[in-house]
Structures are given as C-alpha cells and as structure tokens.
Amino acid sequence: MKIAVEKGQEKTLLADGRQRVTITDIEEGSSENKGIPFFAVRFENDEGYVTHRFYQSEAGMPAIISLFEEAGIEVKAGRELDTKQLVGKEVTIEVGERTYTDPVTHNERTLKQAINFLAS
C-alpha cells in the first residue's frame, strides 16, 4: 500500500506550554452532534502543529473574539468577521490537553487544544 503524505502531515503535535505559531489553515464545518457551525484553525511552527475548533455559539464567542483581536483584526459589534483574514497571522498560544465525555459513545476522550491567545 502506498500512502501519500500531504504538506504539513509530517509534523508532530506541539508540546504543551506557550508556543509562538502561525495560522496556516482554516477549515469550516458543523459539529457532528448538534450541527453547530465551527471553524478549525491549524496553528503551526517549526516544532509542530495543533488544530483547534472554534464553535460559533454564545459560549464560543469569547474565544473567537480573543483570537481575532490577538491576531490584530479589529472586532466591532454589527460587523462580520471573516476567518480567511486569520491565515498567515502570528499569535502566541498555550497548548494543553482537555478531557471530556463523548456525548454519543459516553467514552472519555482527551484532545490537544489551544487557549490563552496573545499577540506575537
């Protein structure tokens, strides 16, 4: 079997802690469980990468606003934000793990996430 490795797939997950990164990709979708719109951001540097989903919900808006502001994009009420503006922006993130219970399988899952965004 031949397996194609796409650009960026050769990198490992970033180590926990503060990391200076560049936003290299944005993917949009809806949550599998409730259909809530999200965008997934790939944060990357020479050491590796981490992908984080930002859900467009009341609970998710503070993280979305923080990301845009720390990336140097002005956030104003009544104005729409375009996720494509984030690509190429540099920020500092804190990488860590989060554990939660999967609502479908009820199994405990752990994933890497990015939090505490700061301007680079």
The string of pLDDT tens digits covering residues 17-67 is: 999 999 999 999 998 878 999 999 999 999 999 999 999 999 999 999 999
Distance (Å, whole) CA 34 – CA 30:
8
Q: Is the pLDDT of residue 120 over 80?
A: no
What average pLDDT does the segment 115-120 reach?
Answer: 78
At 13, the pLDDT band (50, 70, 90 cuts) reads confident
Give all domains of the chain, ordered by start, each with its CATH number. Answer: 17-119 (2.40.50)
Q: Return the structure tokens found at 83.
A: 């996720």
Alpha helix ranges (H) inside the chain: 61-70
| Main-chain phi, psi angles of 47, to 5 degrees | -85, -25
| Main-chain phi, psi angles of 101, to 5 degrees | -95, 125
Residue 89: name the closest of 61, 115, 114, 119 by CA: 119
Which residues on adjacent β-strands are paired with residue 21?
Answer: 91
- Residue 61, H or E segment: helix 61-70
pTM of the model: 0.82
Q: What does 16-39 look like in DSSP terms, one character per residue?
A: SEEEEEEEEEEEEEE-TTT--EEE
Q: Is the pLDDT of residue 6 over 80?
A: no
Contact 93, 21 (CB under 8 A): yes
Question: Which pLDDT score is estimated for 7?
Answer: 64
Question: Which pLDDT score is estimated for 11?
Answer: 81
Question: Which pLDDT score is estimated for 8?
Answer: 60
**Tens of pLDDT along 102-116?**
777 888 887 787 888
